[in-house]
Structure 1
Amino acid sequence: MPDEPSMTPRQIVDEWVKRFNEGNAASIAELYAEEAVNHQVTQAPVTGRAAIQAMFAREFAASDMVCIPETIHEAGDVAILEWRDPVGLRGCGFFTVKNELIVFQRGYWDKLSFLKLHNLPLA
């Protein structure tokens, strides 16, 4: 019996967007490898699935975030997500996927605009 077809990086990012918009930190963390790194350039890198889950739990608790994909590009084991949110923030994320898990994510967005748009402290 042939192996089931694996999910492409683009499909993993499609699933990531779905889970992000559900706001469930445990569910989104399942998409990351155990030693994955999530580096949002406005913050220090977060290493490890458990730490990434904790980061998402804090972020989901702090604000109501929605990711609206503009486009997803795929090149080899990397998917690039261009996104916006309903209040005007825009950004992009680069996801490196190995064995159907995210091993590295880098995100680019304007932290000051995010804080202002979500009425959060400018700390």
Structure 2
Amino acid sequence: MQPKEIIQLFVQYFNQGDADALAELYAEDAINHQVANEPTIGKEAIRQMFKTEFAQAEIVCIVENIFEDGDWGILEWKDPLGLRGCGFFHIVNNKIQLQRGYWDKLSFLRQHQLHLPTK
């Protein structure tokens, strides 16, 4: 599969809130680093991360663009509330090996009326 196809599956499973299907897109030792948070390492930890996130808020990914360059895919997205972000996916042997995401965590927390950090 090409990176674009894997990202399309990622968006489909993400919008279904299916943490188990999402986790199967990752390599066993994958890293998901949403830069607003600490990196999540390993397929099972990534599965739990998604389960936790889906339990906190209803989140939807609307694709704006998907680009690919060799074994890298790039997803530009927005959500129905106006938040925008970008994700970078390094695909090795048809599995996500590294995902890095950039988005405004404070805006997300406010939009979903979630606990704000007290730093």
Q: Fold-level match, TM-score > 0.5? A: yes
**Counterpart residue identity of residue 98, structure 2:** F
Distance 2:28 2:92 in 1: 12
Aligned length: 117
AA at the equivalent of 1:27: A
Matched letter for residue 93 of structure 2: N
Runs of 4 or more consecutive aligned structure 1 residues displaced over 3 Å after TM superposition = none
TM-score (norm 1): 0.94
Q: Which amino acid aligns with 1:77?
A: D
TM-score by length of 2: 0.97
Which of 34, 48, 57 is equivalent to 1:54?
A: 48
Specify the alignment match of 1:36 in structure 2: 30
1:73-97 per-position Cα deviation (integer Å, ceiling 9, x unaligned): 1000000000000001000000000
- 1:121 matches 2:115: yes
Stretches of structure 2 that go unaligned for 5 or more consecutive residues are none
In structure 1, what is the Cα distance between the partners aligned to 2:40 and 2:109?
Answer: 20
Q: Secondary structure at the match of 1:122?
A: coil
Alignment of 1:1-123 (within 5 A): 7-123=1-117
Letter in 1 for 2:113: N
CA RMSD of aligned residues (A): 0.4
Report percent identity of matched pairs.
Answer: 56
Amino acid at match of 2:44: A
Matches of 1:99 and 1:121 in 2, distance apart? 38
User: Structure 1: where are the runs of 5+ without partners?
Assistant: 1-6
1:43 maps to a residue whose letter is N
